[in-house]
Amino acid sequence: MTTMRSLAGVALAVVPCAAALGQGSVTMYGIFDNGYLSDKTQGKGTINAINPSLSVASRWGLRGTEDLGNGWKANFVLENGFTGDNGQQAFGRLFGRASHVGLSNRQLGEIQLGRMANLGLLFTAGMMSPFGPSFQQAAVTTTAAYNTGDFGTTARVNNAVYYFSPRWAGMQAGLGYSVQTADAEIAGGSRNNRMADLGLRYDGGRFKAAVSYQYVMPASTAGARGKPSNLQVGVNHDFGAFTLYGGYGRLSDPTVDPGANGATHFAATHDRDHAYQVGVKVPVGAGRVLLGYQRTTGSKIENYGLAYVYDLSRRTWLYVYANRTEFRLFSAAGATAGDAWRRQIAMGIAHRF
Res. 286: pLDDT tops 90: yes
Res. 5: pLDDT tops 70: no
- When the pLDDT of each residue in the chain is averaged and rounded to a whole number, the result is 89
Determine the pLDDT at residue 225: 59
Question: How many CB atoms sit inside 10 A of residue 199's CB?
Answer: 23
136-155 mean pLDDT: 92
Question: In this structure, are strands 316-330 and 336-352 parallel, antiparallel, or unpaired?
Answer: antiparallel
183-196 mean pLDDT: 87
What percent of the chain has a predicted confidence (pLDDT) above 90? 75
Determine the pLDDT at residue 337: 72
In this structure, of 13-17, 170-174, 302-306, 327-331, the range with the lowest mean pLDDT score is: 13-17
Going by C-alpha positions, the residue among 253, 251, 306 that lies closest to residue 276 is 251
What sign does the CA torsion over 291, 79, 111, 167 have? positive
288-309 mean pLDDT: 96
Going by C-alpha positions, the residue among 171, 141, 137, 135 that lies closest to residue 153 is 141
Confidence tier at 149 by pLDDT (50, 70, 90): confident
Residues 246 and 180: beta-carbon distance below 8 Å: no
Determine the pLDDT at residue 257: 67
- In whole angstroms, what is the distance from residue 87 CA to residue 254 CA? 34
- In whole angstroms, what is the distance from residue 305 CA to residue 136 CA? 10
276-297 mean pLDDT: 97
Going by C-alpha positions, the residue among 176, 172, 164 that lies closest to residue 209 is 172
Res. 226: pLDDT tops 90: no
- In whole angstroms, what is the distance from residue 232 CA to residue 225 CA? 21
Q: How far apart are the first and last CA of the chain?
A: 19
Measured CA to CA in angstroms, residue 107 lies from 112, 124, 166, 290 at distances of 16, 24, 6, 37
DSSP secondary-structure letter at 224? -
71-93 tens-digit pLDDT = 999 999 999 999 999 999 998 89
233-248 mean pLDDT: 98
306-330 tens-digit pLDDT = 999 999 999 999 999 999 999 988 7
Res. 6: pLDDT tops 60: no
Q: Quick one: 98 exposed, middle or buried, by C-beta within 10 A (0-12, 13-18, 19+)?
A: buried
102-128 mean pLDDT: 97
Classified as helix, coil or strand, 335 is coil
Model-level pTM greater than 0.85? yes
